[in-house]
Copies of this chain bind each other. A is one copy, B any other.
């Protein structure tokens, strides 16, 4: 799939909004928006910027740290200006990255004649020094960050494929974790086995982020990365992983059991499987997210064991996560104001926790289609038996 027409279309949507609001152009500094509009994966150590008007789009990036070679040739070309940011590249003079960047950012804004005119900015990110350096008064700066955020909730076909790929990579991680998990191994070993398999498939390194809580450490409170726990027969492991792959963050979970599952473990997991299946069957454009929450959470609640709870959201939208992580609408919670729309990509994650006994979660990702949904996960949605 060719990214170029999607980039053109995304910039066109922004340009129409700028025209509608009488703005001369836009200056984008939020790494998520920048990536969405340029296709260039920014380097958070060295800020990038996009300046855009009705005809031109100029990306300012560090010379070192952003790969511009893979940039597709869109029908509205993206011009790239690189500012020197490391002395690695040129030892013949002293490079001060701060000065170089200020100069390059101001140059791009002046190049498009935007200085001192009403422009759209991502106001939650656009720094005051840049406003001052480029001669913008407060009344010149109009927020288009919220507009872009809402634009990005609906994923185009290219984004959907990126998220599908990220989910497949998670599935490869689950298979590797299943092969590695047995009595006597540590959560670090299982985690790094998943990482190795995913890196080999991806063809490069990445940061594996996620909850990876096993045995008595399972609280279901989330955010519990490996802590050095050594697995024993009968232990459960919740692997809820959400690495950022090529700028996109999928978010899927399987629960693993070391050895043959106990009857209660099978029964609990069957509740999650049924809850997820009911949620999946219900997904369609127009469905209120609160209703989807009720379908998933209500089923878990009706069938959970004594003392059980599902205290967390039943899901959320996913998407770009460059710098800032990605919990997007629709938020699948009881009082959610969101309505499902075609092109949203979301996670559903029924969970079930009994303090002192254990916890389980089952999570997969779905594209909302015209008539229902396309499930992205392919790894079996059963309790994963290991070792």
Please report whether the interface of chain A is mostly helix, strand, loop or mixed according to DSSP: loop
Check if B311 sits within 8 Å of A88, measured CB to CB: yes
Check if A331 sits within 8 Å of B87, measured CB to CB: yes
Interface size on A, residues (CB 8 A): 59
B-side contacts of A126, CB under 8 Å? 127-129
Check if A124 sits within 8 Å of B123, measured CB to CB: no
Given contacts A128-B128, A129-B123, A313-B87, contact A192 B196 (CB under 8 A): yes
Q: Closest CB-CB distance, A187 to chain B, in whole Å?
A: 9
Q: How far, in whole Å, are A207 and B209 apart by their CA atoms in the complex?
A: 8
Give the nearest-CB partner of A310 in chain B. Answer: B91
B-side contacts of A337, CB under 8 Å? 94
Check if A128 sits within 8 Å of B123, measured CB to CB: yes
Give the nearest-CB partner of A130 in chain B. Answer: B124
Q: Closest CB-CB distance, A229 to chain B, in whole Å?
A: 11
Give the nearest-CB partner of A91 in chain B. Answer: B334
Quickly give the copy total for this chain: 2
Which stretch (A14-22, A157-165, A219-227, A270-278) binds chain B? A219-227
B-side contacts of A228, CB under 8 Å? 199-200, 203-204
Q: Closest CB-CB distance, A123 to chain B, in whole Å?
A: 4
B-side contacts of A311, CB under 8 Å? 88, 91
Check if A225 sits within 8 Å of B196, measured CB to CB: no
Q: How far, in whole Å, are A207 and B205 apart by their CA atoms in the complex?
A: 11
Q: How far, in whole Å, are A369 and B89 apart by their CA atoms in the complex?
A: 31
Of B137, B138, B227, B333, which one neighbours A204 at CB under 8 angstroms? B227
28 sampled A-B residue pairs with Cβ under 8 A = A44-B324, A86-B327, A87-B312, A87-B331, A87-B333, A88-B311, A88-B313, A91-B311, A91-B334, A91-B335, A94-B333, A98-B124, A123-B128, A124-B127, A125-B127, A126-B128, A126-B129, A128-B128, A128-B131, A137-B138, A186-B196, A186-B200, A192-B193, A203-B228, A204-B225, A205-B225, A205-B226, A207-B207
